[in-house]
């Protein structure tokens, strides 16, 4: 290897954030904070309290709450299985594949090492209490250890092991492996509604005055293909109303609050779409879906592969298609509004009246649907400008069956989730980005004596709420002023021997270069007035 190549190899690795994740940095984080602060200011007066659920939960919660068939759960979750479980999968595959291609004595050889390793993993996992200590687990563990021993013996002592015995051992391995119970697999949350419902049930919130109104904000994780506005770690701000009634006024007030939030953020070009998807009974959505499917059958040949697949599994999702050539076909399909049962029709009409009463502008979109059974009646989506194809900043809807599906009491539910990354992107596109964070005062000090005063002044000014930069080492006056303006400071406070002796500090306004001498008290007063006037 050449010297150059060697040097290159020795260089420490430079790490980068994982694909689909990113650092949020200043000054952008100021805008993130502002948006989150605005959410709090808008939600709290509507009676919402903040919930902070954990970032990871038992995988099955999401499988049930979001739906095992959805892309989110079936393809996009970041799941971590307990360590022995993933090794067990590997062992199982090995037994199967080695058996298929078994060439005589190779088999026990191939199996021996992974099996020994697995026995060790189990040992260490049980010492760390990572596997439940049930009688069955203890027995299986002992059996695997003894099979591993026998296998080792066969290989090391006997020249050609008895095939029947090897087969028998393999079967026993398979059986003990199958009967093992592991801790539940966990996943990073792909959304938070399921967690909020879980918390509602776990903390008996149905005993509180109903409905319970909760909001949350934080990161979500989905293994999607990254692109502009689509990340693998992204942030949502959401709210849920659980329990109580399903009066349309509740849906309307939630939407009113949401639009007030976007308004206060200054989001441009927002469009609210609403729809009612009825409820999952024969005389309502199920009847409609059957009709939709029958119509789709007739045009099947003209649909793309994705729609053909969705047609079988989840016909409603065909309506989501963005494919150009499918649009004309979809426009002619039956519409759910014509198939709602009387109760759902009344609910939807009342929702629209309630929105009008609140001055909320909406448009109806009959193609706005959700695929899961527990979603019902009200669905809505908000789009904003400057986001290209990923222009939805918020999705929401009513899900009256979800709490019960997760093992809780029957409870109504409705909520939304705002994509915070997209909201920020749209705000930035329309020029609402945060300005770089400057300083109010840069302290240009010179000399030991002035330094002591400068340290005290910095502390007092910061206590009074000013952004202050105090250089840690002495700088020449010209250099200090240069740094002050590079940092975007408004004022330079000049402290030298004279200033300290006279008790008159020099304050330079960087915008126009003017200077004035002020006592400490007068300076604080002056800066306060200046800040108030900004
Ligand atoms: P959903 O939970 O799928 O209804 O999404 C609600 C909102 O979250 C969407 O309208 C998007 O604004 C946002 N969102 C969903 N997935 C992502 C993602 N991978 N990256 C960024 N934002 C997302």
Cα(329)–Cα(10) distance, integer angstroms: 61
pLDDT of residue 22: 97
Q: Is 71 helix (H, G, I), strand (E, B) or coil?
A: helix
Q: Is the CB of 393 inside a 6 Å radius of any atom of ligand 1?
A: yes
E strand or H helix that includes residue 275: strand 271-276
Q: CA angle, corner 289, sides to 284 and 293, nearest 5?
A: 155
CB 222 within 8 A of CB 402: no
Min mean pLDDT across 69-83, 244-258, 316-330, 456-470 is at: 69-83
Q: Which two tokens stand for residue 95?
A: 């037994």
Q: Whose CA is nearest to atom 4 of ligand 1?
A: 395
pLDDT of residue 243: 97
Compare 438 and 196 and report the one with higher pLDDT.
196
Taking every pair of Cα atoms in the chain, the longest distance, rounded to a whole number of angstroms, is 102
Cα(155)–Cα(174) distance, integer angstroms: 19
CB 365 within 8 A of CB 268: no
pLDDT of residue 492: 97
* DSSP 8-state class, residue 471: -
The chain-wide mean pLDDT, for the chain, equals 89
Q: Please, which pLDDT band fits residue 72 given cuts at 50, 70 and 90?
A: confident
The answer to whether the Cα torsion of 106, 111, 116, 117 is positive or negative is positive
Residue 503 Cα, ligand 1 centroid: separation in angstroms?
Answer: 58
**Average pLDDT value for residue range 341-370:** 96
Q: Is the CB of 87 inside a 6 Å radius of any atom of ligand 1?
A: no
Q: Is the CB of 236 inside a 6 Å radius of any atom of ligand 1?
A: yes
pLDDT of residue 106: 61
Q: Please, which pLDDT band fits residue 171 given cuts at 50, 70 and 90?
A: confident
Residue 190 Cα, ligand 1 centroid: separation in angstroms?
Answer: 9
pLDDT of residue 8: 63
- Which residues, including other chains, have CB under 8 Å from residue 77's CB and lie 6 or more apart? 59, 62, 187, 188, 190, 221, 222, 223
Min mean pLDDT across 97-111, 118-132, 146-160, 405-419 is at: 97-111
pLDDT of residue 100: 56
Kindly report, residue by residue over 262-293, the tens digit of the pLDDT. 999 999 999 999 999 999 888 899 999 999 99
Q: Please, which pLDDT band fits residue 83 given cuts at 50, 70 and 90?
A: low
Q: Please, which pLDDT band fits residue 328 given cuts at 50, 70 and 90?
A: very high
What Cα–Cα distance (Å) separates residue 316 from each residue in 163, 285, 526? Answer: 55, 10, 65
pLDDT > 90: percent of the chain: 65
Give the residue, out of 217, 236, 240, 273, with the most ligand 1 atoms within 8 A of its beta carbon, to mutate for a pocket test: 236
**Average pLDDT value for residue range 394-408:** 95
Q: Is the CB of 234 inside a 6 Å radius of any atom of ligand 1?
A: yes
Kindly report, residue by residue over 432-456, the tens digit of the pLDDT. 877 777 899 999 999 999 999 999 9
**Average pLDDT value for residue range 502-522:** 96
Residue 231 Cα, ligand 1 centroid: separation in angstroms?
Answer: 9
In 3D space, the residue among 415, 419, 386 whose CA is nearest the CA of residue 400 turns out to be: 415
Per-state percent for the chain, helix, strand, coil, to nearest 5: 50, 15, 35
pLDDT of residue 154: 74
**Average pLDDT value for residue range 419-430:** 94
Residue 247 Cα, ligand 1 centroid: separation in angstroms?
Answer: 27
Residue 419 Cα, ligand 1 centroid: separation in angstroms?
Answer: 5
- DSSP letters, 391-460, are -EEEEEEE-TTHHHHTTS----EEEEEEEHHHHHHHHHHTT-PPPP--EEEEEEE-SHHHHHHHHHHHHH
**Average pLDDT value for residue range 344-352:** 97
pLDDT of residue 75: 87
Q: Please, which pLDDT band fits residue 85 given cuts at 50, 70 and 90?
A: low
Q: Is the CB of 224 inside a 6 Å radius of any atom of ligand 1?
A: yes
Answer yes or no: is pLDDT of 102 > 60. no
Q: Please, which pLDDT band fits residue 182 given cuts at 50, 70 and 90?
A: confident
Min mean pLDDT across 15-19, 85-89, 395-399, 485-489 is at: 85-89
Answer yes or no: is pLDDT of 119 > 70. yes
CB 505 within 8 A of CB 450: no
Burial class (CB in 10 A: 0-12, 13-18, 19+), 10: exposed
In 3D space, the residue among 393, 467, 482 whose CA is nearest the CA of residue 430 turns out to be: 393
Answer yes or no: is pLDDT of 101 > 60. no
Answer yes or no: is pLDDT of 489 > 80. yes
pLDDT of residue 213: 98
Answer yes or no: is pLDDT of 7 > 70. no
pLDDT of residue 371: 65
Cα(325)–Cα(273) distance, integer angstroms: 23
Q: Whose CA is nearest to atom 3 of ligand 1?
A: 395
pLDDT of residue 160: 67
Q: Whose CA is nearest to atom 15 of ligand 1?
A: 419
């Amino acid at each position: 290897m050449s010297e150059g190549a060697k040097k290159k190899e020795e260089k420490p690795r430079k790490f980068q954030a994982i694909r689909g994740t990113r650092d949020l940095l200043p000054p952008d984080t100021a805008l993130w904070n502002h948006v989150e602060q605005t959410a709090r200011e808008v939600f709290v007066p509507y009676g919402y309290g903040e919930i902070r659920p954990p970032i990871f939960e038992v995988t099955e919660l999401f499988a049930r709450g979001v739906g095992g068939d959805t892309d989110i759960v079936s393809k996009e979750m970041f799941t971590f299985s307990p360590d022995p479980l993933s090794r067990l999968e590997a062992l199982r595959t090995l037994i199967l594949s080695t058996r298929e291609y078994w060439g005589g004595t190779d088999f026990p050889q191939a199996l021996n090492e992974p099996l020994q390793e697995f026995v060790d993993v189990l040992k260490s996992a049980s010492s760390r209490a990572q596997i439940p200590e049930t009688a069955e687990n203890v027995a299986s563990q002992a059996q695997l250890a003894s099979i591993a021993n026998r296998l080792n013996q066969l290989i090391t002592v006997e020249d050609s092991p008895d095939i029947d015995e090897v087969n028998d051992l393999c079967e026993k391995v398979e059986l003990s492996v199958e009967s093992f119970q592991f801790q539940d697999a966990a996943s990073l949350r792909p959304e938070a509604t399921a967690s909020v419902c879980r918390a509602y049930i776990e903390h008996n919130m149905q005993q509180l005055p109903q409905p319970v109104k909760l909001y949350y904000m934080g990161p979500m994780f989905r293994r999607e293909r990254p692109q502009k506005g689509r990340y693998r770690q992204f942030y949502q701000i959401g709210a849920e109303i659980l329990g109580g009634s399903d009066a349309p006024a509740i849906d309307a007030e939630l939407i009113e609050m949401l639009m007030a939030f976007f308004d206060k953020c200054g989001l441009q070009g927002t469009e609210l779409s609403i729809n009612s998807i009825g409820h999952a009974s024969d005389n309502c959505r199920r009847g409609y879906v059957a009709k939709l499917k029958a119509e789709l059958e007739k045009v099947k040949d003209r649909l793309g592969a994705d729609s053909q697949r969705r047609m079988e599994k989840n016909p409603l999702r065909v309506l989501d298609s963005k494919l150009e050539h499918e649009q004309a076909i979809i426009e002619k399909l039956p519409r759910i509004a014509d198939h709602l049962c009387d109760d759902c029709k009344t609910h939807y009409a009342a929702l629209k009246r309630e929105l009008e009463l609140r001055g909320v502008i909406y448009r109806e979109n009959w193609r706005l649907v959700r695929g899961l059974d527990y979603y019902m009646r009200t669905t809505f989506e908000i789009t904003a400008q400057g986001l290209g194809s990923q222009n939805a900043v918020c999705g929401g809807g009513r899900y009256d069956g979800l709490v019960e599906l997760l093992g809780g009491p029957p409870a109504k539910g409705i909520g939304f989730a705002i994509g915070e990354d997209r909201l920020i992107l749209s705000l930035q596109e329309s020029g609402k980005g945060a300005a770089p964070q400057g300083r109010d005062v840069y302290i240009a000090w010179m000399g030991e004596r002035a330094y002591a005063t400068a340290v005290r002044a910095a502390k007092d000014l910061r206590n009074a709420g000013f952004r202050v930069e105090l250089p840690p080492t002495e700088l020449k006056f010209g250099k200090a002023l240069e740094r002050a303006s590079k940092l975007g400071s408004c004022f330079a406070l000049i402290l030298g021997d004279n200033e300290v002796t006279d008790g008159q500090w020099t304050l330079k306004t960087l915008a126009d270069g003017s200077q004035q001498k002020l006592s400490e008290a007068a300076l604080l007063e002056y800066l306060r007035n200046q800040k108030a006037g900004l």
